[in-house]
Amino acid sequence: MNQKEKALAFAALHKKGDPVVLYNIWDAGSAKAVAEAGAKALATGSWSVAAAHGFGDGEKVPLAWLADIARLVVASTDLPVSIDFEGAYSDDAATGAANVSRILDVGAIGINFEDQIVGKGGVHPVEKQAERIRAIREMADRRGIPLFINARTDLFLQEGDESRHAGLVDEAIARGKAYAEAGASGFFVPWLVDEALIAKVCAASILPVNIMMRPAAPDLKTLARAGVSRVSYGPGPYRVMMEELKAAATEVYAPR
């Protein structure tokens, strides 16, 4: 498949009630391993990519490096590849779109694009985030690539008290609607784990909804029943691998 065909195939994987599962990767080696395990598409996680290359999360990986990592991942597989692009390395809409263009240059067909103000806390006003999404969509359209923009809201991620998540759902739904109108392809609500609240978001969203799998989250069958279209694992796979590596190394170096 060419890049456009991969983008269309990736979008088609997002089915309400039958979610595409993305076991997030961080480099070409992990991409090949997950592809060989039977994945239908691949997606990086920003935290994992940063940690694997000695950086902290939050756009600490230099943009040029991230583009190279994306290029190597895309070259390692025939599957569609989505890149976690955080806040597009700029608060400015035009600059962010130009930065995303560099990810298209290496053959990726999707991005995660978050509404938090990277490194400063809080989230962008919905109008500004919609403007940023619109700029990315217009850039991709000019290039003839149906880029899958997975618009992420950090409302739930930034609220550590899960008992308060119910009070954020209406705002999240409003943001999802605005992001859809601006040209987003999907709506990502990381850290939301309550089944009823997830179902409410899915019922109200015209975009396919992405949930992040974590220990407190419902299982895949429950998420499918709630209407989820995409399930991703975030930093979980990297952390699992690192714990196994550390355990094996500890055994090797244990006193005899």
pLDDT in tens, 1-24: 999 999 999 999 999 999 999 999
3 state DSSP class of 153 = coil
Whether the full predicted model's pTM is greater than 0.85, yes or no, is yes
pLDDT given at position 190: 98
Residues in the chain: 256
Q: Which residues contact 90 (CB under 8 A, 6 or more apart)?
A: 96, 99
Q: How many CB atoms lie within 10 A of CB 165?
A: 18
Q: Report the C-alpha gap between 62 and 50 in whole angstroms.
A: 10
Q: Report the C-alpha gap between 121 and 41 in whole angstroms.
A: 31
pLDDT given at position 256: 87
Nearest CA-CA partner of 48 in 70, 25, 69, 32: 25
Q: Domain count of the chain? A: 1
Give the domain extent around 21.
3-253
Q: What is the mean pLDDT of residues 122-127?
A: 98
Give 151's strand partners.
113, 187
CA-based max dimension of the chain: 64
Q: For residue 204, give the CATH number of its domain.
A: 3.20.20.60
Question: For the chain, first and last CA: distance in Å?
Answer: 54
pLDDT given at position 132: 98
